[in-house]
């Protein structure tokens, strides 16, 4: 069977609050995205994933939705969305939105009604519990710290996987499910090309709601209760009633899905087109990031996953997103962050088996920011965990250090467009601090420079789309090579007699490998030394070859 369209695309993720502010209120907006479409077209991306733009009190930057049908005024209007869809379409680009249906906002009309009247229909759209004493119904801990339960004035407790302003929707209720499907189809009919599906493995609950034992005596982390048995019924129904009716692309954030259930999620007939490959997301916890051992561990995780996924289905490959720190900080030691290492990282993942995603700013090598206090941070998760640490009498300074390095705000600082005030992101006061390095790292500076990271990303997307190679990336097998050469990350993609080889040296010194100089399609260095059946790779050299080497 020939590749689905979403196997041939490069996706660009936009965090709308931080992308480009067209009206000077300090917050990015839809018209700002429309203004930058030519930039994105030139970058060579085909699909834009836009994080939530719906009406929201913004407790979790839009992942708390109070009206699924309306664009939040802070981002513009529904007419602006129509215009964006139309302008993107003119340029041959598609838009996918975030679908957040594990929970909504406590300011959604459904929840307000449910709070006002325990017997109304909407009360059945959520999980409420009464307890005899004033105890929480169980010991489960929410993803943002604290209990999953919050008590209403009338004594009822409601359930939330994330913050207390994000009450979970009760998927057991067929009426609720119908409402959700209606909304999904409404957006698909409007012309969105699909969805990134948020936190979807949380929608099925352990309905016993029994407390669970923990080793430390603290609450039981809800993140252990993903992909709960019975979830498949809901997901099959959503696929049949919505996704199958449109030729859409769906990419699920599906924590907890391992090899056992991968096929159900992202196999040929899976619930979704693909799921994000999170198997190598947490490499940042390794102490000495760019040591040979660390690279070897990363190599193993990536290729274990590739071997499995390439037989089982399809995945989305990425280095960054709005929940992660910047990839250069995550995978490299500070002193090694440079064009060569950043482009080596990019080359490493871009041609893997799966659809590559680029996160805004990654293409210019944006870095983590410096956070001096919790007060500078905006992230509800960082604040929740900080508060929790104080309650548990742990050292809050440690939490600050953790979030400075790994916190989500690192990827949410404004896009660095130029060296003017606020990095050219806004004429107003930015909603979150701008990374101080914008004078050095920005689009304007890199746009005209052929040896910039931005120019390199353009070459990556161009190669991905080149007629003769497109099938190789969309259909081809993946095979790791040079497995035993320390800190060398190399693979072949192959389809129908045509092959492409990717070789990346993550060693801080030169590295010799077996290989002949096949036609070089891409090289992040000016030269490549070849002699007597050997190639001498410079530190952080990344080369893509036509054929095998």
Footprint of ligand GLC (CB under 6 A)? 60, 63, 100, 162, 198-199, 253, 322-323
- Residue 63 C-beta: closest distance to ligand GLC, Å: 3
Nearer Cβ to ligand GLC, position 284 or 323?
323
Class of residue 72 by CB neighbours under 10 A (exposed 0-12, middle 13-18, buried 19+): buried
- Residue 384 C-beta: closest distance to ligand GLC, Å: 11
Nearer Cβ to ligand GLC, position 253 or 264?
253
- Residue 247 C-beta: closest distance to ligand GLC, Å: 25
Answer yes or no: 323 catalytic: no
Q: How far apart are CA 174 and CA 262, in angstroms?
A: 26
Q: How far apart are CA 108 and CA 160, in angstroms?
A: 14
State the Cα torsion 253-256-260-261 to the nearest 10°. Answer: -40
- Residue 164 C-beta: closest distance to ligand GLC, Å: 13
Q: How far apart are CA 468 and CA 475, in angstroms?
A: 12
Give the CA diameter of the chain. Answer: 81
- Residue 125 C-beta: closest distance to ligand GLC, Å: 17
Answer yes or no: 253 catalytic: yes
Nearer Cβ to ligand GLC, position 55 or 100?
100
Q: Is 203 helix (H, G, I), strand (E, B) or coil?
A: coil
Q: Do 443 and 361 meet the contact criterion of CB atoms below 8 Å apart?
A: no
β-pair partners for 531: 534
- Residue 323 C-beta: closest distance to ligand GLC, Å: 5
Q: How many helices (H) and strands (E) does the chain have?
A: 15, 23
- Residue 99 C-beta: closest distance to ligand GLC, Å: 11
DSSP 8-state symbol, 2: P
Q: What are phi and psi of 221, to 5 degrees?
A: -65, 125
- Catalytic pick from 253, 340, 409, 492? 253
Nearer Cβ to ligand GLC, position 166 or 422?
166
Of 270, 137, 290, 118, the residue nearest 206 (C-alpha): 137
Q: How far apart are CA 266 and CA 53, in angstroms?
A: 26
Nearer Cβ to ligand GLC, position 22 or 161?
161
- Residue 145 C-beta: closest distance to ligand GLC, Å: 13
Nearer Cβ to ligand GLC, position 322 or 459?
322
Point out the residue whose Cβ comes nearest to ligand GLC: 63
- Residue 506 C-beta: closest distance to ligand GLC, Å: 28
Specify the DSSP element, H or E, that contains 67.
Answer: strand 67-71
Q: Do 539 and 510 meet the contact criterion of CB atoms below 8 Å apart?
A: yes
Interacting residues of 106 by C-beta distance below 8 A, sequence separation 6+: 64, 112, 115, 164, 165, 166, 167
Nearer Cβ to ligand GLC, position 299 or 412?
412
State the Cα torsion 528-529-530-532 to the nearest 10°. Answer: -170
Of 279, 259, 263, the residue nearest 271 (C-alpha): 263
Cα Rg, the chain, nearest whole Å:
24
- Residue 324 C-beta: closest distance to ligand GLC, Å: 10
Interacting residues of 120 by C-beta distance below 8 A, sequence separation 6+: 113, 114
* Strand pairing report for 11-14 and 47-50: parallel
DSSP 398-443: HHHHHHHHH-GGGGTSPP---SSGGGGS-SS--SSPPPGGGGTS-H
Residue 466 tokens, joined: 């080149």
Nearer Cβ to ligand GLC, position 59 or 363?
59
- Catalytic pick from 59, 106, 198, 379? 198
Nearer Cβ to ligand GLC, position 103 or 459?
103
DSSP 9-41: --EEEE-GGGT--SSSSSS--HHHHHHTHHHHH
Nearer Cβ to ligand GLC, position 142 or 461?
142
β-pair partners for 97: 50, 195
Q: How far apart are CA 91 and CA 202, in angstroms?
A: 36
* Strand pairing report for 194-197 and 94-99: parallel
Question: Which sequence positions are flagged as catalytic?
Answer: 198, 253
């Amino acid at each position: 069977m020939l590749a689905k369209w979403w196997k041939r695309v490069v996706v660009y993720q936009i965090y709308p609050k931080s992308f480009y502010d067209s009206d000077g209120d300090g917050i990015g907006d839809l018209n700002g995205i429309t203004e930058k479409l030519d930039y994105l077209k030139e970058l060579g991306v085909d699909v834009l994933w836009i994080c939530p733009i719906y009406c929201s009190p913004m407790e979790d930057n839009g992942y708390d939705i109070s009206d699924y049908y309306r664009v939040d005024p802070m981002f513009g209007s529904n007419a602006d969305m129509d215009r964006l869809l139309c302008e993107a379409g003119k340029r041959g680009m598609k838009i996918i939105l975030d679908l957040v249906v594990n929970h909504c906002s406590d300011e959604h009309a459904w929840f307000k009604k449910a709070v006002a009247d325990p017997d109304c229909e909407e009360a059945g759209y959520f999980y409420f519990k009464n307890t005899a004493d004033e105890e929480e119904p169980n010991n489960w801990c929410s993803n943002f710290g604290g209990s999953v339960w919050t008590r209403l004035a009338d004594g009822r407790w409601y359930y939330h996987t994330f913050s207390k302003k994000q009450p979970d929707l009760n998927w057991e209720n067929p009426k609720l499910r119908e409402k959700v499907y209606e909304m999904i189809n409404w957006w698909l009919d409007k012309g969105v090309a699909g969805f990134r599906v948020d936190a979807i493995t949380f929608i099925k609950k352990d309905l016993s709601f029994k407390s669970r034992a923990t080793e430390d005596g603290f609450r039981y982390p809800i993140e252990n209760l993903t992909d709960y048995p019975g979830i498949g019924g809901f997901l099959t129904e959503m696929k049949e009633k919505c996704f199958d009716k449109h030729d859409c692309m769906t990419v699920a954030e599906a924590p907890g899905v391992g090899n056992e259930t991968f096929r159900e999620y992202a196999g040929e007939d899976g619930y979704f087109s693909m799921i994000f490959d999170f198997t190598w997301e947490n490499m940042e916890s390794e102490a000495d990031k760019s040591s040979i051992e660390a690279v070897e561990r990363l190599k193993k995780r990536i290729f274990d996953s590739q071997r499995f996924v390439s037989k089982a289905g399809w995945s989305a490959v990425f280095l960054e997103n709005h929940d992660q720190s910047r990839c250069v900080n995550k995978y490299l030691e500070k002193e090694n962050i440079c064009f060569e290492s950043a482009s080596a990282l990019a080359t490493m993942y871009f041609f893997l088996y799966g659809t590559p995603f680029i996160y805004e700013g990654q293409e210019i090598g944006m870095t983590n920011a410096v956070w001096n206090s919790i007060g500078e941070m905006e992230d509800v998760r960082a604040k929740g965990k900080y508060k929790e640490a104080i309650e548990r009498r742990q050292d809050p300074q440690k939490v600050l250090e953790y979030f400075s390095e790994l916190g989500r705000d690192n990827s949410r600082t404004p896009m660095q467009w130029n060296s003017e005030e606020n990095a050219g992101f806004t004429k107003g006061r930015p909603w979150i601090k701008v990374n101080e390095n914008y004078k050095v790292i920005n689009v304007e500076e890199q746009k005209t420079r052929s040896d910039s990271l931005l120019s390199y990303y353009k070459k990556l997307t161009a190669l991905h789309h080149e007629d003769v190679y497109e099938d190789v990336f969309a259909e081809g097998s993946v095979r790791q090579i040079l497995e035993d050469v320390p800190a060398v990350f190399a693979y072949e993609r192959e389809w129908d007699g045509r092959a492409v080889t990717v070789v990346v040296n993550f060693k801080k010194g030169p590295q010799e490998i077996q290989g002949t100089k096949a036609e070089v399609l891409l090289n992040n260095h000016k030269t490549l030394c070849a002699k007597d059946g050997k190639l001498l790779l410079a530190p952080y050299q990344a080369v893509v070859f036509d054929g095998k080497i």
